[in-house]
Amino acid sequence: MYKKLEMFYEGKAKRVYKTVVDQEYIVSYKDDATAFNGEKRGTILNKGEVNNQMSAMIFKLLQELGVENHFIALINEREMLVKAVEIIPLEVIVRNITAGAMAKRLGLEEGIRMKFPVLEFSYKNDQLSDPFINDDYAVALNIASQWEIQCIRNMALKTNEILREFFIEKNILLVDFKLEFGRYENRIILADEISPDTCRLWDATNNEKLDKDRFRRDLGKVEEAYQEVLNRLKA
Ligand code: UDP
């Protein structure tokens, strides 16, 4: 039913294929894992299946609650059908709790709950290692318009509210996450993926990490953590 035509893009974690419909792509999720801007490489068994299924579940939920996104349908365990968007080269990060690059940059310990969610932008450019920028740079350098930034801000914060509640019901803390947005017709819609590759997810009881930090930091039980998240979401 869903016919894959030629692959036209291969990223670090996904392949994107054209379909017989111009406005629709097929995304195929890989098991390949990279960290530190591609310096660390490996494989996480079944990661592609977990990330595809988790993203599908979350995109569906967001769609129902009014956050328009690129998801159309789940095709199989590793593949989904999506709307073809023009990706805006911004990594939009939402943080609820200090962790990762932010904690390091500011000399803070991980795990401090912030007074309100903090939004952060990076310019999506591997050669430059996704440098930190702010919304003024994005507008001044024509990466996105003022109106697009406002849409992105509103959608990112709404996504955070929805996902925080969704995860806490599964006894998972949503520490931080990265979103990407795209242009579709004359609108801005959410795209890319939402998975343990792109979110920091901690067990709410013991703060155990259930995300890509297990791979980045060689904490072991990487596959198990990804599977555990999917199992909890499905339960
Ligand atoms: N993140 C991502 N892709 C990136 C950079 C970050 O998905 O290229 C996610 C990361 O998994 C985390 C959040 O964005 O959930 C914040 O990451 P941070 O800025 O702390 O960078 P990191 O410590 O991951 O390098």
The letter for the amino acid at 191 is A
pLDDT tens for each residue of 54-87:
999 999 999 999 999 999 999 999 999 999 999 9
Does the Cβ of 100 fall within 6 Å of ligand 1?
yes
- Give residue 1's pLDDT band: very low, low, confident or very high (50, 70, 90): low
Q: Whose CA is nearest to atom 21 of ligand 1?
A: 101
Task: Note the CATH architecture for domain 4-83.
Answer: 2-Layer Sandwich (3.30)
Ranges of CATH 3.30.470.20 domains, the chain: 86-221+229-234
- CATH among 3.10.20.30, 3.40.50.300, 3.30.413.10, 3.30.470.20 for 86-221+229-234: 3.30.470.20
Does the Cβ of 128 fall within 6 Å of ligand 1?
no
pLDDT > 90: what percent of the chain?
A: 98
Instruction: Inform me whether the pLDDT recorded for 219 exceeds 80.
Output: yes
What does the pLDDT read at residue 150? 98
Residue 124 CA: nearest ligand 1 atom is 8
Element (H, E) at 167: helix 146-168
The letter for the amino acid at 70 is H
Other C-beta atoms lying within 10 Å of the C-beta of residue 122: 18
Q: How many angstroms separate the alpha carbon of residue 95 from the centre of ligand 1?
A: 10
Q: How many angstroms separate the alpha carbon of residue 154 from the centre of ligand 1?
A: 20
Ranges of CATH 3.30.200.20 domains, the chain: 4-83
What does the pLDDT read at residue 64? 98
What's the length of the chain? 235
The candidate with the shortest Cα–Cα distance to 43, out of 32, 29, 52, is 32
For the entire predicted model, the pTM comes to 0.97
Whether residue 181 contacts residue 90, with contact meaning beta carbons closer than 8 Å, is answered with yes
Whether residue 58 contacts residue 163, with contact meaning beta carbons closer than 8 Å, is answered with yes
pLDDT tens for each residue of 154-193:
999 999 999 999 999 999 999 999 999 999 999 999 999 9
Distances (CA, A) of 215 to 6, 41, 197, 233: 31, 9, 10, 21
- Give residue 142's pLDDT band: very low, low, confident or very high (50, 70, 90): very high
Pocket test for ligand 1, best of 119, 132, 133, 178 (most atoms within 8 A of CB): 178
Element (H, E) at 159: helix 146-168
Question: How far apart, in Å, do the first and last CA atoms of the chain sit?
Answer: 29
Q: Whose CA is nearest to atom 18 of ligand 1?
A: 101
The letter for the amino acid at 103 is A
- Give me the mean pLDDT over the 110-125 stretch: 98
- Give me the mean pLDDT over the 134-159 stretch: 98
